[in-house]
């Protein structure tokens, strides 16, 4: 009787039963073998990539080489090194720590971190057409652009200026509204670059501010910019902005990236379907995450057998001699470029057949 009364008067609640673990919605990791790995050149410190179809039916893969202050041109079908362009300096046609790169038509836009500018050159001769941004840019890295109307471009450049003796201190929140700068660009009748500054943007709240920025990609169909924040001290992810510069409050799932969120590319499949490809900058092997173009839900991840510590990627969905369904190109460990067949990526990850037609 005494035991029963003691039990009834006890104030210790029974331990709650833990709910069953939710089933993971993230697809399993897959392996897609590289079609090639180029010869290594560690001295270059390769960073970002862009492609350009030549007039004779070939395709160039153009890489920025930060430490040697030049561009490196590869045969996109084979990975063979074709030529080097530029040298260290401040004059047009020279580079100082080139980083981001973007090809539009027969022009290549090159972001130079330490010249604080975006330089534009014609293709295939790499003749300088002009530069912009030197008055506003402080430490520019990535670039993406879109045509707003015929001949008129809107160019977005990430600006990851930092403070401190080692330049590793994030600026105060109030200054982080300068993380993405916007320019309006066109070419005059003589082919010269004409550019005007159109302001900057970036969230300044504690939870969602862009602390360390580099890669950026856009999708005009969905009024979406994805901006990679690399700061692992807070949260490395890709945050969604509208083209007007407003943060939507959305980012890719918090647990998507084990390392730094890096290169980003949009793989379109028709007017509305497609996938975002984003880099998880890991070693010994880079992980490439795919997300639904519209919903941003995970659609799978893959890795190669060599590609590691990737910075930039370039997606070339057009047909080439070696890649009838297109290719994904990636930087390997700052010293080589690699290529993945998009048809094989689609097959292994069971993606929409429309992406390889």
pLDDT of residue 262 exceeding 50: yes
List, for residues 313-344, the tens digit of each pLDDT value: 999 999 999 999 999 999 999 999 999 999 99
Closest CA to 201 of 187, 186, 216: 216
- The pLDDT of 22-29, averaged and rounded, is 55
- Cis geometry, peptide bond prior to residue 124 (ω within 30 degrees of 0): yes
pLDDT at 4: 42
State pTM to two decimals: 0.91
Closest CA to 216 of 233, 232, 195, 230: 230
Q: Using 50, 70 and 90 to split pLDDT, how confident is the model at 303?
A: very high
Closest CA to 337 of 70, 32, 66, 78: 78
Q: Using 50, 70 and 90 to split pLDDT, how confident is the model at 171?
A: very high
Q: What length is written for the chain?
A: 357
* CA–CA separation, 264 and 288 (whole Å): 9
Which residues 6+ apart lie within 8 Å of 150 measured at CB? none
pLDDT at 254: 66
Domain ranges within the chain, ordered by starting residue: 262-357
């Amino acid at each position: 009787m005494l035991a029963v009364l003691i039990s009834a008067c006890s104030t210790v609640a029974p331990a709650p039963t833990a709910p069953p673990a939710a089933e993971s919605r993230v697809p399993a990791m897959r392996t897609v073998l590289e079609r090639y790995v180029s010869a290594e050149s560690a001295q270059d410190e390769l960073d970002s990539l862009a492609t350009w179809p030549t007039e004779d039916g070939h395709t160039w893969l153009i890489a920025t080489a930060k430490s040697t202050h030049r561009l490196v041109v590869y045969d996109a079908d084979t990975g063979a090194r074709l030529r080097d362009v530029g040298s260290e300096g401040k004059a047009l046609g020279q580079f100082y720590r080139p980083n981001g790169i973007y090809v539009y038509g027969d022009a290549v836009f090159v972001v130079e971190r330490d010249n604080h500018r975006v330089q534009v050159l014609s293709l295939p001769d790499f003749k300088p057409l002009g530069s912009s941004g030197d008055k506003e840019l402080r430490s520019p890295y990535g670039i993406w652009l879109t045509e707003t109307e015929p001949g008129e471009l809107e160019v977005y450049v990430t600006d990851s200026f930092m403070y401190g003796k080692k330049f590793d201190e994030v600026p105060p929140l109030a200054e982080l509204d300068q993380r993405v700068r916007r320019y309006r660009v066109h070419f005059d009748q003589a082919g010269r670059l004409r550019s005007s500054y159109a302001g900057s943007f970036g969230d300044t709240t504690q939870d969602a501010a862009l602390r360390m920025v580099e890669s950026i990609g856009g999708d005009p169909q969905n009024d979406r910019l994805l901006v990679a924040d690399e700061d692992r001290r807070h949260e490395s992810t890709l945050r969604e902005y509208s083209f007007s510069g407003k943060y939507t409050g959305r980012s890719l799932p918090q647990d998507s990236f084990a390392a730094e969120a890096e290169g980003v590319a949009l793989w379109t499949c028709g007017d509305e379907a497609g996938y975002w490809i984003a880099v998880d900058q890991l070693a010994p092997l880079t992980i490439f995450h795919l997300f639904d173009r519209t919903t941003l839900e995970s659609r799978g991840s893959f890795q190669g057998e060599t590609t590691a510590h990737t910075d930039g990627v370039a997606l070339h969905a057009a047909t080439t001699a070696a890649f009838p369904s297109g290719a994904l190109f990636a930087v390997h460990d700052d010293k080589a470029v690699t290529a993945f067949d998009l048809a094989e990526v689609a097959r292994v990850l069971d993606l929409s057949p429309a992406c390889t037609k």
